[in-house]
Amino acid sequence: MVIMIHSIYIMRKTGENIYTRKYEESSVDDNLISGFLSALQNFVSEVSSGDVIRTIKTGNVKFIYNIIHDIIVVAVADQQDDERKIQEKVEKIAEIFYNKFKVNLENWTGDISPFKPFEEDLEDIISGTLKVSLIGYGGVGKTTILKLLKNEEIPLKHNPTIAVDIKPFKEINISGLKLIVWDFAGQERFESLWKMLIKGTDLIIVVVDSTMINLLRTRRKIMKMIEEENPKAKVIVIANKQDLPKAIKPNIIEGLLNAPTYGFVAIDPSYRRDILKIINEKIDELSKTSKKESSVVASAA
């Protein structure tokens, strides 16, 4: 689930703001935030530190904060966002920040520069990880697409993937999320792993080689398995090898596999922009779906 946290503030209980991270220019009123932080500082001495996480809702935003020892961590988020998930993040931010800078906090002289390295930790906590899975039979071009995505040299010779090749994308930050792409081995002896691996996947990219034999196998086995094991996943199809004679066109493949389909020639580096754009669009769709589901849950409550 994608959570739209607008900003994070970390303060000392004595009132000094020691760390701020704003994630976007938004409609959240800075005066509203300043007023809340000032009010929090005024009564925080009456609130004991501990594991209790509190939420205050006002207007179209909510403030979720946690007090640990002598620091306060405040997250500003949209009203419809999943409160429990934000609470988990706030608690983790407070714990990691305090443990990492305990000595600096105990001997603080007013200099906030020692806290700047916390940005990398914060990004890992806030952004989370999106699991993307490449799945398809052997030789359709999954690993070539993975290398295209990472902007690595594309092999001219096919080297079969053995078991699962997991690639973290720390250098690619799409829609505020870090990606981990799973490249599943397509050989028949590894099919028993597919059910386990597609569970928990946010975006499944089914790769086909645009031949009728491959499409029929994919529809009968892979698409059926996705429907049974992870029906809520976002699914797209990459119709690879469109440069070959008699390649079936993407619109026909889309009808056969009942999923959005994009024509590709994965050995052509110019397609990298296309794969990045497609993934970005699908992540945005996931984000909007998550917000709608959170809004429905909130209304029902």
pLDDT in tens, 41-97: 666 655 555 546 688 887 778 888 888 888 889 888 887 777 888 888 888 899 899
CA distance 209 to 214: 7
Say what the pLDDT of residue 209 is. Answer: 96
Say what the pLDDT of residue 298 is. Answer: 44
Say what the pLDDT of residue 114 is. Answer: 92
Q: Is the pLDDT at 186 greater than 80, yes or no?
A: no
The better pLDDT of the pair 297, 194 is held by 194
Q: What mean pLDDT do residues 212-229 have? A: 94
Environment class of 143 (CB within 10 Å of its CB; exposed 0-12, middle 13-18, buried 19+): buried
Q: What mean pLDDT do residues 213-228 have? A: 94
Q: 171 with 200: CB under 8 angstroms? A: no
CA distance 127 to 131: 12
Q: Which residue has the tokens 């409160």?
A: 83
pLDDT in tens, 101-157: 999 998 888 999 999 999 878 877 776 667 888 899 988 988 888 888 877 776 555
Say what the pLDDT of residue 245 is. Answer: 92
CA distance 299 to 269: 47
Amino acid (1-letter code) at residue 44:
V
- DSSP labels for 81-123? S-HHHHHHHHHHHHHHHHHHHHHHHHT--S--GGGTTHHHHHH
Q: Give the highest mean pLDDT range of 26-30, 141-145, 288-292.
A: 141-145
Band of pLDDT at residue 175, cut at 50, 70 and 90: low
CA distance 148 to 5: 31
Say what the pLDDT of residue 219 is. Answer: 96
pLDDT in tens, 230-274: 998 899 999 999 999 999 999 999 999 999 999 999 999 999 889
Q: Is the pLDDT at 160 greater than 70, yes or no?
A: no
Q: Is the pLDDT at 295 greater than 50, yes or no?
A: no
The better pLDDT of the pair 102, 294 is held by 102
Name all domains of the chain by residue range, CATH numbers in brackets. 5-127 (3.30.450.60), 129-291 (3.40.50.300)
Q: Is the pLDDT at 23 greater than 80, yes or no?
A: no
Q: What mean pLDDT do residues 200-215 have? A: 92
